[in-house]
């Protein structure tokens, strides 16, 4: 960046953005020069924001078409189709989460870069404002001391030296030199107006940047929270959480496209300024500061002469002449007029302070100080600032893509959750092999008194009075069956007894096998009833 401090060179991305088509709202091409007061130029920047708004409309239209197709086109819910859908939702959620994380990282970097660039701009503006304020205070102070202080001393000395014409002539010559100094100081540009403008611009820019930085920080945090909550809703299969995140996802999608429009217009407008900043500055300071003076500070080449060299030289020579005259009066007039010593020493002190102000004024008016502030401001705006805005544009694009994928995945996941709950509700609650029925049975003790085909305790008698055919003896120990039932969380009323011992089918039976078992159980009950009556 040291070469940029010798001579400002706009970065390549500002030329790329500067070459963007500038079209007003009447679809007519306009000049791409930075002219913020021109109505056509303002419309060309608004047109770029409208392009982002058109992208938002197209995005929402595609989402609406996708949701319509998803709601209208019902596919079969067989086992072969469920697995690919679940896999698609999972990978969509993973892709949305990764894109969101990348977008948030890019956004944080772009927000920091933009803030650094604007801070460097305001810092340079404050430094330039301090320099111009110093110049103005030195000029004002020197002129005030020459007009009031020196005039008072010379008036008193004129009364003291009234009888000596040569001394009075020396005093008149010194008054001419003081008037010449005031004339040269009046020839310097009036920096007061520029000083006020720079201070107000720096204050307004700092306030706007603070709220911009805070807004983007909240937007980044909001994007991250919505992504995390959406992933949590998919993991927990919470339909209300997914519905809420879908609403916030649409809101964030709108914010992403809106921020993209603002960032694009800002980047293009700033690049138009960065390509030719000297033209804009000369047009703004026309009438207040001469073109040669502004050119001297913007480029600060050794070949350029200092436009203040002549008045500063005359100022220095006038002070030197006045110092010589005061030294002569102190040497020859004080022995004759001792009362004049105080005024002569006061004039000498005033000339010494004026000479010190002259050296400070010469240093402040040198082009190197203000040129450094100018280059720092341009580097902050055109390098860090525009680069950060470009990263924020990338963040907005990635965030829009991530939330588009998320909004496509959430409805499909919502349908899958609804289908699972519907299939789960279709299971017979009286079916003891239904996990819900077993949980209800364990939570409701009165429900255990209901008749069940898994138990032989009924009005026909107990298992001790009935002697059903002995089942086949299994070599598996009792603890193996109990461990299996403990793993599946079964009801202790049924699961503490081996399945073979009570004639119950294993929980993994299909509905058709369960129906076959029920019919076999009814035949066994009839057979046992006939034997009991006999």
CA distance linking residue 352 with residue 343, whole number of Å: 14
* Helix (H), strand (E) at residue 505: none
Measured between alpha carbons, how far is residue 315 from residues 145, 151, 321, 423 in Å? 14, 17, 10, 98
What DSSP designation does 23 have?
B
- Report pLDDT for 78: 44
- Report pLDDT for 233: 81
Q: How many CB atoms lie within 10 A of CB 191?
A: 22
- Report pLDDT for 291: 82
Q: Which residues pair with 29 in a beta bridge?
A: 23
Tell me if 45 sits within 8 A of 51, measured CB to CB: no
- Report pLDDT for 215: 95
Residues contacting 133, CB < 8 A, separation 6+: 191, 195
Could you tell me the pLDDT band of residue 190, with boundaries at 50, 70 and 90? Answer: low
Instruction: Say whether pLDDT at 491 is over 50.
Output: no
Tell me if 534 sits within 8 A of 467, measured CB to CB: no
pTM, entire model: 0.72
Instruction: Say whether pLDDT at 523 is over 80.
Output: no
Tell me the mean pLDDT in the region 186-200.
70
- Report pLDDT for 51: 92
Q: Where are the domains of the chain?
A: 12-423
- Tell me if residue 458 falls in helix, strand or coil: strand
CA distance linking residue 9 with residue 33, whole number of Å: 17
Instruction: Say whether pLDDT at 510 is over 80.
Output: no
Could you tell me the pLDDT band of residue 116, with boundaries at 50, 70 and 90? Answer: very high
Residues contacting 198, CB < 8 A, separation 6+: 125, 126, 128, 129, 132
Measured between alpha carbons, how far is residue 305 from residues 242, 279, 295, 309, 533 in Å? 71, 21, 11, 8, 132
Tell me if 323 sits within 8 A of 345, measured CB to CB: no
pLDDT, one tens digit per residue, over 137-185 is: 888 888 888 888 888 888 888 888 888 888 889 888 988 998 888 888 8
Distance separating the N- and C-terminal Cα atoms of the chain = 110
């Amino acid at each position: 960046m040291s070469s940029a401090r010798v001579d400002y060179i706009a970065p390549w991305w500002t030329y790329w953005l500067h070459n963007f088509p500038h079209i007003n709202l009447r679809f007519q091409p306009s000049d791409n020069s930075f002219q913020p007061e021109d109505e056509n130029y303002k419309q060309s920047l608004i047109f770029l924001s409208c392009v982002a708004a058109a992208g938002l409309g197209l995005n929402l239209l595609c989402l609406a078409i996708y949701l319509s197709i998803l709601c209208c086109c019902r596919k079969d819910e067989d086992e072969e189709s469920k697995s690919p859908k679940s896999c698609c939702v999972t990978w969509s959620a993973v892709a949305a989460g990764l894109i969101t994380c990348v977008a948030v990282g890019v956004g944080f970097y772009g927000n920091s870069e933009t803030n650094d660039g604007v801070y460097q701009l305001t810092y340079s503006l404050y430094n330039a404002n301090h320099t111009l304020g110093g110049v103005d205070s030195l000029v004002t102070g020197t002129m005030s001391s020459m007009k009031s202080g020196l005039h008072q001393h010379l008036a008193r000395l004129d009364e003291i030296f009234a009888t000596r014409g040569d001394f009075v002539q020396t005093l008149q010559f010194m008054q001419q030199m003081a008037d010449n100094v005031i004339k040269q100081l009046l020839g310097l540009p009036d920096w007061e107006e520029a000083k006020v403008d720079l201070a107000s611009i720096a204050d307004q820019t700092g306030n706007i940047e603070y709220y911009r930085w805070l807004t983007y920080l909240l937007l980044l945090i909001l994007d991250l929270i919505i992504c995390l909550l959406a992933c949590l809703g998919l993991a927990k299969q919470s339909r209300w959480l997914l519905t809420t995140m879908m609403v916030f996802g649409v809101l964030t999608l709108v914010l992403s496209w809106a921020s993209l429009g603002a960032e694009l217009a800002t980047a293009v407008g700033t690049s138009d300024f960065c390509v030719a900043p000297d033209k804009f500055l000369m047009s703004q300071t026309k009438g207040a500061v001469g073109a040669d003076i502004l050119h001297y500070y913007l480029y600060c080449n050794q070949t350029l002469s200092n436009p203040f060299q002549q008045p500063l030289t005359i100022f220095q020579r006038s002070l030197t002449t006045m110092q010589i005259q005061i030294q002569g009066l102190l040497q020859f007039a004080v022995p004759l007029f001792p009362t004049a010593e105080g005024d002569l020493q006061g004039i000498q002190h005033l000339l010494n302070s004026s000479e010190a102000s002259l050296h400070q004024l010469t240093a402040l008016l040198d082009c190197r100080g203000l040129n450094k502030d100018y280059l720092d401001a341009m580097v902050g705006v055109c390098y860090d600032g525009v680069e950060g805005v470009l990263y924020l544009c990338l963040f907005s694009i990635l965030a829009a893509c991530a939330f588009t994928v998320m909004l496509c995945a959430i409805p499909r996941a919502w349908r899958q959750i609804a289908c699972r709950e519907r299939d789960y509700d279709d299971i017979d609650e009286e079916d003891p092999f239904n996990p819900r029925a077993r949980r209800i049975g364990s939570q409701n003790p009165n429900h255990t008194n209901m008749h069940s085909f898994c138990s032989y305790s009924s009005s026909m008698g107990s298992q001790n009075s009935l002697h059903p055919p002995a089942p086949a003896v299994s070599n598996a120990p009792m603890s193996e069956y109990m461990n299996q039932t403990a793993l599946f969380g079964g009801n202790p009323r049924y699961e503490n007894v081996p399945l073979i011992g009570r004639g119950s089918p294993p929980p993994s039976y299909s509905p058709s096998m369960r129906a076959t078992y029920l019919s076999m159980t009814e035949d066994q009950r009839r057979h046992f009833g006939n034997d009991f009556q006999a």
